[in-house]
């Protein structure tokens, strides 16, 4: 039966977004017996309905096919999931608990002691880890890409280790980006969204929320447009009322856009932060890599004291081919031996801060410019990765850089060319998938947009529950920290509802 184009509905809690934050909030609140309605702009796709070709799969699941970028001389693409499950549906399931230095900083500078209190946050992490089957990547599914990185770490004495992921039953299919074909990776579309539905929550997909409805200083619902599944173009409208609260969990770019369109100002959209990254490719002709098997990301080298983390990143052939240097017969020869190539990436903890505003013609306007120290930091990481590849047995490395750096490096000494380059904007090609800030939590409205309980300083019963509330970036993958913080905030909200009903 066709879905109606114009929709009206209501619930105790209306949650906008189904990623790490929104799905966790839905899981906690629905388990407490509360009436929860989840809204998602993207489609609700079964794994078997997602294309296996990576480009087609990402076109289906990425917001704007990854075309959201910052303004400036060197635009940076920002990757955001637009599908039920949010960005968890297109990531590799990497799990890191919040680093202690970050937790202490948030308490001391931003007054978030109750939100990230150690015992309560640890308990939340433990529950999530058990429910989402979190475990260290097994040796039998590391794959050649990760094994090469492990060898490099052994030879250079680096602190490498297998990655902890929410995929205990991983079969090494290397299809995390397309949606795990065995459902072993516990992304939100495979875990907390269906769990919330089984506890009585409801889900409307293809709902583009345009505005939070605010009456007498209180959030009472949302309204927006229903979208066609194939074209993603508007075909109708909807209005959903919230009896208790509206929870916005659209991510560090879409959340501030929605809030500002709804009339909020102040710190909304300020202090945008990110972990921009870059990647290199190396060729190992004497010991083929076989990137088609293994965990998409199975091994990492945490270097937080230097501001970055190196990760293995396996790509399907159609994406790997774009990273291989050469033209004509030279390029074709390399493509014929694609199983000899490995790819590693770095995520760097930049100190730069930017802003996010609604775009003049829709979408988002993002101002974000890396600092000179940020650029130097990622140069150091790229130079280190080049050295790692050569000591692990690579005969050539493809850095993918401008600034006069050769397309193909053939000696470990050439890593110094990267470390010492003075790049112009755009000569280091950056992409960012870890995004933070823009509705920071703080004990003072001059420092943040939401209170320590994640309710807006300006509008009652309007909560933000995603990485927007993080006052700083972290230097590690944020998914687990988002879930832990939201678990704490949503549990407090559920307890308040229980007390109100029993009074």
Residue 464 near residue 454 (C-beta atoms within 8 A): yes
Question: Residue 211: beta bridge partners?
Answer: 223
- Residue 292, SS3? coil
Sign of the torsion angle spanned by Cα atoms 13, 18, 24, 26: positive
Per the listing, tokens 């930091």 go with 377
Structure tokens at 262: 């709804």
Nearest one of 375, 374, 378 to 351, comparing CA atoms: 374
From the candidates 275, 337, 398, 434, give the one annotated as an active-site residue: 434
For the chain, give the number of residues. 503
Nearest one of 426, 183, 409, 433 to 313, comparing CA atoms: 433
The distance of Cα 394 from the centroid of its chain, to the nearest Å, equals 30
Per the annotation, the verdict on 337 as an active-site residue is no
Residues with Cβ within 8 Å of residue 360, at least 6 apart in sequence: none
Per the listing, tokens 């296996």 go with 52
Structure tokens at 431: 């992409």
CB neighbourhood size of 161 (10 A): 14
Measured CA to CA, the distance from residue 196 to residue 194 in angstroms comes to: 5
* Active site amino acids: 434
């Amino acid at each position: 039966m066709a879905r109606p184009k114009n929709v009206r509905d209501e619930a105790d809690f209306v949650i906008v977004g189904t990623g790490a934050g929104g799905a966790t909030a839905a899981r906690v609140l629905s388990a407490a017996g509360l009436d929860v309605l989840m809204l998602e702009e993207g489609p609700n796709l079964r794994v078997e309905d997602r294309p296996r070709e990576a480009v087609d799969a990402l076109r289906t699941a990425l917001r704007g096919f990854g075309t959201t970028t910052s303004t400036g001389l060197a635009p940076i693409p920002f990757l955001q999931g637009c599908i039920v499950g949010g960005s968890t549906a297109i990531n590799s399931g990497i799990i890191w608990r919040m680093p202690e230095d970050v937790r202490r900083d948030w308490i001391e500078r931003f007054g978030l002691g109750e939100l990230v209190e150690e015992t309560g946050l640890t308990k939340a992490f433990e529950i999530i880890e058990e429910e989402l089957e979190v475990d260290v990547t097994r040796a039998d599914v590391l794959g050649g890409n990760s094994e090469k990185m492990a060898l490099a770490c052994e030879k250079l004495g680096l602190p490498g280790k297998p990655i902890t992921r929410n995929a205990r039953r991983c079969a090494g299919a290397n299809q995390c980006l397309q949606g795990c074909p065995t459902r072993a990776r516990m992304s939100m579309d495979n875990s907390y969204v269906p769990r919330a539905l089984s506890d009585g929550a409801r889900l409307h997909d293809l709902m583009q929320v345009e505005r939070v409805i605010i009456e007498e200083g209180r959030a009472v619902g949302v309204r927006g447009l229903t979208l066609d599944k194939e074209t993603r173009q508007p075909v109708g409208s909807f209005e959903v009322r919230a009896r208790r609260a509206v929870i916005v969990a659209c991510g560090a770019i879409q959340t501030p856009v929605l809030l500002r369109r709804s009339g909020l100002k102040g710190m909304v959209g300020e202090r945008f932060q990110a972990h921009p990254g870059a990647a290199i490719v190396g060729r190992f002709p004497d010991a083929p890599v076989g990137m088609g098997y293994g965990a998409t990301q199975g091994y990492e080298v945490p270097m937080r004291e230097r501001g970055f983390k190196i990760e293995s990143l396996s790509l399907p052939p159609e994406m790997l081919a774009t990273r291989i240097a050469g033209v004509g017969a030279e390029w074709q020869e390399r493509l014929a031996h694609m199983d000899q190539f490995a790819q590693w990436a770095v995520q760097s903890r930049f100190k730069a801060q930017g802003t996010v505003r609604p775009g003049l013609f829709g979408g988002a306007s993002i101002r974000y410019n890396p600092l000179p120290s940020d650029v130097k930091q990622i140069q150091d990481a790229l130079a280190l990765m080049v050295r790692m590849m050569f000591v692990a047995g690579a005969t050539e490395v493809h850095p993918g850089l401008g600034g006069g750096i050769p397309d193909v490096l053939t000696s470990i000494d050439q890593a110094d060319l990267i470390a010492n380059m003075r790049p112009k904007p755009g000569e280091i090609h950056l992409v960012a998938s870890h995004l933070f800030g823009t509705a920071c939590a703080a004990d003072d409205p001059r420092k943040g947009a939401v209170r320590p309980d994640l309710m807006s300083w300006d509008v009652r019963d309007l909560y933000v529950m995603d990485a927007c509330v993080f006052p700083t970036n972290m230097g590690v993958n944020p998914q687990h920290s988002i879930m832990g913080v939201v678990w704490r905030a949503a549990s407090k909200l559920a307890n308040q509802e229980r007390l109100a009903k029993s009074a």
